[in-house]
Amino acid sequence: MPGVQCTALFAGRRTAYVQSAEEDTIGGDLKRAASIIRERRETVAFTGAGISVESGIPPFRGPDGLWTKHDPSFIELGHFLDDPAGSWIFIRELFFDAIERAEPNAGHIAVAELERAGFVRSVITQNIDGLHQMAGSEKVLEFHGTTRTLHCLDCHAAYARENVDLSKMPPTCPSCGGVLKPDFVFFSEQIPEDVSRDSFAEAGAAGVVLVVGSTGEVMPAAYVPVVAKEAGAMVVEINTSVSAYTRDVTDIFLQGKAGDVLPELVREVLGTVCENCSGVSRGAA
């Protein structure tokens, strides 16, 4: 009966690929993800706290998240403006000190490798730690801003982190004495318009979205993979556990740590065997 067949086909659509018993493994999924990235090329990596946890940076949410131990109001804009010194003591300890101890991990390095080889067109990150750039990624859209720069609330002068003295609280502007605010997005602040616009434009142009370490719960960033999917992208997800994307948005779910799965994925994408001479060739044109 045609009706029965249609229902069955529709139910099977989410899987997108006919799987053999042998392929129905992480290894098979990894190979399929790699071949989609090779074929489609225009991959956008969308990363969240999960990738930086592996570098020792605590996430905000979840059982071990910062917000289980600290009241997040210290990065609420009004609170910060009322008591910059009080807020800054937490900001320095929880963000700047933690980030300064951190190094990019194998996951960040793998994403940068895919960009260098011409497969990743951009990274959209919800993280404020600058670890993608440290790993070598060049086109990085920081959806929630960054700790790498600060600006003066009075004269609006901009400063690189390394030129700011954080030994006295709050740090002040060398030219006017105003309070410095880090350039990450505080609660009750808007996402910078240019970053938001560019991120959703990248999502719309993506052939593949590689979701890494994001639970898909923080709006509006969480829409990035959804917008990409609606524009025709395949969604490959790497997370340690299922997320808000896994069931209805993700096409291929690679369960595991970014630092384990991404290097394997890069090996699959970049190490291709030439059909003519059997030599290993690099995938990038």
Kindly list the catalytic residues: 144
From 44-52, 54-62, 167-175, 222-230, span contacting Zn ion (CB under 5 A)? 167-175
The nearest distance, CB 92 to Zn ion, in angstroms, is 19
The nearest distance, CB 165 to Zn ion, in angstroms, is 14
Q: Which residues pair with 184 in a beta bridge?
A: 145
Q: Which is nearer to Zn ion, 45 or 152 (CB)?
A: 152
- Residue 201 touches Zn ion, criterion: CB under 5 A: no
Kind of pairing between the strands at 252-255 and 120-125: unpaired
The nearest distance, CB 164 to Zn ion, in angstroms, is 12
Q: Which is nearer to Zn ion, 136 or 178 (CB)?
A: 178
**Is there a contact between 75 and 128 (Cβ–Cβ < 8 Å)?**
no
Q: Which is nearer to Zn ion, 81 or 284 (CB)?
A: 81
The nearest distance, CB 150 to Zn ion, in angstroms, is 11
CA-to-CA distance for 45 and 123, rounded, in angstroms? 5
For Zn ion (CB under 5 A), the number of binding residues is 7
* DSSP per-residue letters across 198-261: HHHHHHHH-SEEEEES--S-STTTTHHHHHHHHTT-EEEEEESS--TTTTTT-SEEEES-HHHH
Q: Which is nearer to Zn ion, 65 or 178 (CB)?
A: 178
- Residue 242 touches Zn ion, criterion: CB under 5 A: no
Binding mask 123-152 for Zn ion (x = CB under 5 A): -----------------------------x
CB atoms inside a 10 Å sphere around CB 189? 15
- Residue 155 touches Zn ion, criterion: CB under 5 A: yes
Q: Which is nearer to Zn ion, 179 or 254 (CB)?
A: 179
From 51-59, 166-174, 209-217, 258-266, span contacting Zn ion (CB under 5 A)? 166-174
- Residue 173 touches Zn ion, criterion: CB under 5 A: yes
| Tokens describing residue 225 | 């993979």
Question: Which CA distances in Å does 264 have to 56, 107, 123, 189, 230?
Answer: 21, 10, 19, 38, 28
CA-to-CA distance for 68 and 137, rounded, in angstroms? 31
CA-to-CA distance for 201 and 169, rounded, in angstroms? 39
**Radius of gyration of the CA atoms of the chain, in A:** 21
- Nearest alpha-carbon partner for 200 in 89, 44, 47: 44
**Is there a contact between 24 and 231 (Cβ–Cβ < 8 Å)?**
no
Going through the chain in order, the beta strands assigned E by DSSP cover 43-47, 120-125, 140-142, 145-152, 158-160, 180-184, 208-212, 234-239, 252-255, 271-273, 280-282
- Please identify which residue in 26, 81, 158, 176 interacts with Zn ion, judged by CB under 5 A: 176
Q: Which is nearer to Zn ion, 80 or 143 (CB)?
A: 80
- Residue 158 touches Zn ion, criterion: CB under 5 A: no
The binding site for Zn ion (CB under 5 A) comprises 152, 154-155, 157, 173, 176, 178
